[in-house]
Amino acid sequence: MESGLKMTEDLRSVAPTPEEEDPQVILLVEDDLGLAELMRGVVEELGFPCICLTSGHAALEWMRAHRPLLALLDYSLPDMTCLALVHTALENSPEHMPPFLVTTGMGDERLAVEMMKMGAQDYLVKDTSFLEHLPKALRQALDRVAQDTKLERAETALRQSEERLRQIIDLVPHMIYARDHEGQYLLVNEATARALGSDVAHLTGSSLKE
């Protein structure tokens, strides 16, 4: 018990504060302290700091203040299942729920499908070869996270660019609009809306006939 307590305290002490959030941290939620230590070693060998917690409630509390890059969640925790943990996180603060992998001591196909539907990146059975397969599963999950992050940034940049364009054309006193080959308005500025006796929101997406 003393060893477990020390481990939890040591690992929590390196957790970044909200003001010093490290987006590269991987959260490990595992109540088997011996296995958690081995898993933490695997994570750190990949070059990522690892925060280890031993209960679902501790994980939920930590995730309210931090946004880890990835989470490794044991399915059967002392206070709740991984399913309950993810459901609670998504219900209360979905923006704080990171991509996650599920680890379990039992190979249940139905459970695996259920967790995948909840958004799990992978479902790993803690068998004799578990620690050998863990690095590959982590790398694959991290690659997907990187791709998703790149896509999100591109979409954000596009939205910002569109908003800047919108602000510019609305300052122009002349009619500016774009229509597709079917006559549907794709873009309309304020001057066009005023000239047609309508508003931008109504005209955008409307057809020339309408």
**Confidence category of residue 23, pLDDT binned at 50, 70, 90:** low
Give the N- to C-terminal CA distance of the chain in Å, as an integer.
73
- pTM beyond cutoff 0.75: no
Distance CA 110, CA 133 (A): 21
Least confident span in 14-18, 48-52, 60-64, 131-135: 14-18
Q: H/E element holding 45?
A: helix 33-45
> What gap in Å lies between CA 196 and CA 190, rounded to an integer?
10
Q: What is the mean pLDDT of residues 6-24?
A: 43
Average pLDDT over residues 54-62: 93
Average pLDDT across the chain, whole number: 81
* C-alpha to C-alpha distance for 70 and 95, rounded to whole angstroms: 13
In DSSP terms, 185 is beta-bridged to 179
* pLDDT at 33 (0 to 100): 92
Residue 180 CB contacts under 8 Å (≥ 6 apart), including other chains: 186
